[in-house]
Chains A and B, each alone.
Chain A
């Protein structure tokens, strides 16, 4: 099973700043990594698939990069609605599909 480790666990930033979230895989997942946003009481929302492709309707301030074992989700010019928990997820080796433990992005 591929383990995904996200860092930091919590990130405190102000609106307008840039958030950089990291996801590291225990072995290569090529580009087969997705990012999700989850707000309290809601289902996760797909942001990025295949490391760098934005899902339909996702604002351009969300961008993904990386390949192999190291990935980054960057959120530029944070909006108030961006403060949430973010998960990465791999589909390179399954079963099982696995998720990271999440990064909480909170307002500073």
Chain B
């Protein structure tokens, strides 16, 4: 059974870098578009980007200049870094995996981690 677990600071100061890690159990972090998705409080879902085969990435153009997604296969983890954060980046951040290789219908999600941006 594949499980995902997000971890990282729950509070980040404005202008700093948000850093989160998704630990994967029950699967290898390859072959799928391992993704980060976020949800501001009371709002909808926003896809941030993915990592594929641990080296290939693709990002939401609206965030591309500030986002880096990387992977550590030895630890079965992939990570999100979002730089120069503002209050608008306050959200629940989810890591997720699609139900099939090469596509984006996400059937496996982490529980989500709330990140607040505040001084």
Bound-state CA distance A49–B99 (Å) is 9
In the assembled complex, how far is the CB of residue B65 from the closest CB belonging to chain A, in whole angstroms?
13
Contact of A46 among B49, B62, B105, B110 (CB under 8 A): B105
Measured CA separation A6–B46 after assembly (Å): 15
B35-49 vs A, Cβ < 8 Å mask (1 yes, 0 no): 100000000111101
Q: Which of B44, B59, B60 has the most CB of A within 10 A?
A: B44
Residues of B within 8 A of A46 (CB): 99, 105-107
Residue B17 lies at the interface, judged by CB distance under 8 Å to chain A: no
Contact A43 B44, beta carbon cutoff 8 Å: no
Distance of A80 Cα from B104 Cα, bound (Å): 29
Q: A43-B111, A100-B44 are in contact. Are A95 and B106 (CB under 8 A)?
A: no
Secondary structure at the A interface, as helix, strand, loop or mixed, is loop
Q: How far is the CB of A87 from chain B (nearest CB, A)?
A: 6
> Which of under 10, 10 to 19, 20 to 34, or 35 or more describes the interface residues of B?
20 to 34
Q: Residue among A97, A98, A101 with the most chain B CB within 10 A?
A: A97
Could you tell me how many residues of chain A have their Cβ less than 8 Å away from some Cβ of chain B?
Answer: 24
Determine if B26 is an interface residue (Cβ-Cβ < 8 Å).
no
Q: How far is the CB of A26 from chain B (nearest CB, A)?
A: 16
Point out the residues of chain B lying under 8 angstroms from A96, CB to CB: 47, 60-62
Q: Are B44 and A102 within 8 A (Cβ)?
A: yes
Contact present for A43 and B112 (CB under 8 Å): yes
Q: Does A84 contact B (CB under 8 A)?
A: no
Besides A44-B94, A89-B45, A95-B61, 4 new A-B residue pairs in contact (Cβ under 8 A), listed by A number? A1-B61, A34-B105, A95-B59, A99-B47
4 smallest CB-CB distances across A and B, nearest first, come from: A43-B109, A49-B105, A91-B104, A96-B60
Chain B interface residues (CB < 8 Å from chain A)? 35, 44-47, 49, 58-62, 94, 96, 99, 103-107, 109-112
A-B contact pairs, 23 of them (CB 8 A): A34-B105, A43-B110, A43-B111, A46-B99, A46-B107, A49-B103, A49-B105, A50-B105, A55-B99, A55-B105, A55-B107, A56-B107, A89-B45, A91-B105, A94-B104, A95-B47, A95-B49, A95-B58, A95-B61, A97-B47, A98-B47, A99-B44, A100-B44
